[in-house]
């Protein structure tokens, strides 16, 4: 009976390990293919004016809650001093408490002076998350084109005019997005995320777009045809905490396209601490899975190319890779300790395939980092830090996936940035538990001389121990 039980447990451990290696290898290979495709960057936008002289009106929509007054002032001043103020309007939607809204209104009135194209709205309550706020602004928008941004987004007017020029000349496009780039990099976390973001844009946007694959709209820095959003999309989905992914997928399923302008940059503030990044990642993971489930039937019944349907499914489920790898390493380590067998060694071909794809993936990431640092040591340091962030987020991603699978709703939580991030209190319990667990497993595996599986377990142990020691720098 014990032998039979052992065989079942070993089989389950082997299955978990094989699945984690196969899924991780698949996604790493995809990223490498995307990145290599992005190096040649095929133009799929047709002939558009580099700096368009066409000056069509645009309505800029901004949702906010609990934002510092200086950011509100900066937003309005930047708009008034830009060329966009001559051809468009700025609509700010506040869903703060009424008393706070009154203070905001005073600041807005003082900052805008006699300008009449800066509009402030107040929404009572937070129904519909960010989508509810920008939907309210959508119905007020007077111009044919709308631009959705965050209050801290920084962009050039030329991006908007070129996007409109593209939409005017090509009816298959209903939205235009641009390259995202980090605005800040004053901490270890934000600096690392700055480079990682460059790599992700090069792969998931420039690379996929060069291959002719559809790209998604972004939550900040996307220009839309107003009437398409109103009449076809019926606004943004208020039941989804990632309204940009939701809208982007509906555009794709409707047979229309989102254009990507790689030569324009929208700067967005990134998190300075991992505690804040966790909140953001939980929302993105849950929202991506929710979107996939919500539109699964419609996606596969749509007239899209079957291979594109498959690729879109992989795109929306990409977070599974990190979660399954974390789970696979944890389960295989425990079983290896209990039964004295190196499960990774027993499935060496899968581990080897993963290692090769991981090496290629790392080289692509290093290539992006080095293109900015021009320093080998700095590149290695940033590469190592990105690994720390990836490993650290694995259990957060797993938790968010489990929450989704169990049917527990996730309420929209604003990613803490700036002053709010400084006030965020880090809860270290999970980091302490995981550091202890993986350290104990590493020692136990070494005692049993199970060297190969130890390498994977040690990778996670080192991550959590290091973060607990350097807590003030990272968390």
Helix (H) or strand (E) holding 30: helix 2-40
Mean pLDDT calculated for residue range 59-81? 87
pLDDT of residue 43: 62
pLDDT band per the 50, 70, 90 thresholds, residue 423: low
Helix (H) or strand (E) holding 222: strand 222-225
- Look up residue 435 and give its two tokens: 């550091």
- Look up residue 355 and give its two tokens: 């290692």
pLDDT of residue 41: 65
Q: Which residues fall within 8 angstroms of residue 69, CB to CB, at 6 or more apart?
A: 103, 104, 107
Q: Which residue has the higher pLDDT, 97 or 427?
A: 97
Helix (H) or strand (E) holding 44: none
Least confident of 16-25, 43-52, 222-231: 43-52
Helix (H) or strand (E) holding 266: strand 257-268
* Rounded Cα distance, 177 and 145, in Å: 13
Paired sense of beta strands 145-149 and 222-225, if any = antiparallel
For the chain, the farthest-separated pair of C-alpha atoms sits apart, in whole angstroms, at: 84
Nearest residue to 364 via CA among 32, 29, 39, 25: 32
- The answer to whether the beta carbons of residues 401 and 287 sit under 8 Å apart is no
pLDDT of residue 235: 92
Per-residue pLDDT at 134 exceeds 60:
yes
pLDDT of residue 95: 84
- The answer to whether the beta carbons of residues 75 and 59 sit under 8 Å apart is no
* Rounded Cα distance, 438 and 423, in Å: 30
* Rounded Cα distance, 104 and 102, in Å: 5
Give the residues across from 225 on adjacent strands: 145
pLDDT of residue 261: 92
What does the pLDDT look like over 249-275, one tens digit per residue? 999 999 999 999 988 889 988 888 888
- Look up residue 70 and give its two tokens: 């200086």
Q: What is the pTM of this model?
A: 0.89
Nearest residue to 386 via CA among 457, 443, 322: 322
Per-residue pLDDT at 290 exceeds 50:
yes
The CB-side HSE value for 352 (13 A sphere, CA atoms) comes to: 5
What does the pLDDT look like over 434-447, one tens digit per residue? 889 999 999 999 98
Look at the block and give the residue holding tokens 């978990």: 16
Question: Domain residue spans in the chain?
Answer: 2-38+318-474
- The answer to whether the beta carbons of residues 132 and 122 sit under 8 Å apart is no
Average pLDDT score over the chain: 87
* Rounded Cα distance, 57 and 39, in Å: 34
pLDDT of residue 418: 65
What does the pLDDT look like over 312-323, one tens digit per residue? 999 999 999 999
Q: Which residues fall within 8 angstroms of residue 455, CB to CB, at 6 or more apart?
A: 344
pLDDT of residue 414: 72
Q: What percent of the chain has pLDDT over 70?
A: 92
pLDDT of residue 370: 94
Give the residues across from 62 on adjacent strands: 92, 149
- Look up residue 174 and give its two tokens: 């209903």
The CB-side HSE value for 200 (13 A sphere, CA atoms) comes to: 12
Coarse DSSP helix, strand, coil percentages of the chain, rounded to the nearest 5 percent: 65, 10, 25
Paired sense of beta strands 222-225 and 88-94, if any = unpaired
pLDDT of residue 377: 94
């Amino acid at each position: 009976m014990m032998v039979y039980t052992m065989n079942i447990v070993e089989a389950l451990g082997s299955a978990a390990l094989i699945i984690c290696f196969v899924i991780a290898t698949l996604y790493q290979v995809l990223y490498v293919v995307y990145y290599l495709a992005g190096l040649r960057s095929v133009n799929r936008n047709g002939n558009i004016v580099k700096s368009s002289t066409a000056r069509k009106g645009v309505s800029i929509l901004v949702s906010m809650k609990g934002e510092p007054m200086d950011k509100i002032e900066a937003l309005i001043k930047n708009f008034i001093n830009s060329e966009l103020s001559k051809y468009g309007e700025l609509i700010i939607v506040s869903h703060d408490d009424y008393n706070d809204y009154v203070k905001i209104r005073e600041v807005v009135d003082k900052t805008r002076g006699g300008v009449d194209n800066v509009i402030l709205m107040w929404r009572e309550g937070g129904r519909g998350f960010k989508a509810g706020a920008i939907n309210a602004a959508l119905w007020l928008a007077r111009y044919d084109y709308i631009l959705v941004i965050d209050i801290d987004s920084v962009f050039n007017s030329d991006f908007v005019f070129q996007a409109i020029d593209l939409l005017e000349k090509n009816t298959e496009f209903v939205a235009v997005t641009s390259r995202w780039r980090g605005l800040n990099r004053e901490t270890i976390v934000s600096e690392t995320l700055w480079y990682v973001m460059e790599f992700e844009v090069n792969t998931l946007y420039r690379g996929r777009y060069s291959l002719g694959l559809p790209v998604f709209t972004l939550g900040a820095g996307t220009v839309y045809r107003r009437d398409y959003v109103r009449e076809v999309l019926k606004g943004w989905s208020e039941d989804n905490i990632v309204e940009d992914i939701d809208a982007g997928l509906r555009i794709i399923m409707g047979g229309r396209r989102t254009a990507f302008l790689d030569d324009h940059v929208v700067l967005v503030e990134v998190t300075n601490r991992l505690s804040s990044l966790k909140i953001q990642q939980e929302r993105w993971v849950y929202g991506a899975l929710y979107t996939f489930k919500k539109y699964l039937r419609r996606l596969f019944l749509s007239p899209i190319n079957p291979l594109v349907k498959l690729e879109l499914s992989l795109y929306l489920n990409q977070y599974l890779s990190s979660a399954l790898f974390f789970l696979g390493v944890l389960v295989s380590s425990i079983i290896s300790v209990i039964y004295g067998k190196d499960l990774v060694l027993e499935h060496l071909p899968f581990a080897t395939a993963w290692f090769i794809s991981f090496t290629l993936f790392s080289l692509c990431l290093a290539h992006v980092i080095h293109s900015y640092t021009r320093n080998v040591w700095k590149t290695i340091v940033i590469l190592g830090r990105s690994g720390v962030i990836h490993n650290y987020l694995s259990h957060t991603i797993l938790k968010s996936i489990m929450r989704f699978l169990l049917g527990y709703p996730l309420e929209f939580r604003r990613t803490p940035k700036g002053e709010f991030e400084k006030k965020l209190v880090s809860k270290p319990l999970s980091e302490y538990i995981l550091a202890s667990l993986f350290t104990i497993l590493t020692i136990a595996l070494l005692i049993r001389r199970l060297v190969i599986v130890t390498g994977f377990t040690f990778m996670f142990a080192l991550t959590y121990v290091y973060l607990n020691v350097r807590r003030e720098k990272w968390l």
